[in-house]
Amino acid sequence: MKTMTATEVSRNFASVLDRAEHGETIVITRAGRRLAILSPASAGNGAALKDFLARNRPDPEFAEDVESARALLTDEVSTAWPDA
């Protein structure tokens, strides 16, 4: 893991991005304190989400739960602010 000051990063931003693109993680400091960590983004795609949704089917009663929660909120707001 490479450590660079914020000034170094700003002066060499393109090369810092290249390093992150190639898998390196960079710790960015300012006044000697850790400020941020720049790391490679995950290479996710829609296939992983599609696979997750295929393995985890929604609860059939979920829509009913949402509707009952919505009704409670609507009633609560109506009674809290009569002029609403």
* pLDDT digits 0-9 by tens, 12-41: 999 999 999 999 999 999 999 999 999 998
- Give the number of other CB atoms < 10 A from CB of residue 2: 13
In the predicted structure, residue 81 carries a pLDDT above the cut 80: no
For 63, the enclosing helix (H) or strand (E) is helix 62-80
Beta partners for 28? 4, 36
pLDDT, averaged across the chain: 86
In the predicted structure, residue 77 carries a pLDDT above the cut 60: no
pLDDT, greater one: 63 or 83: 63
In the predicted structure, residue 82 carries a pLDDT above the cut 90: no
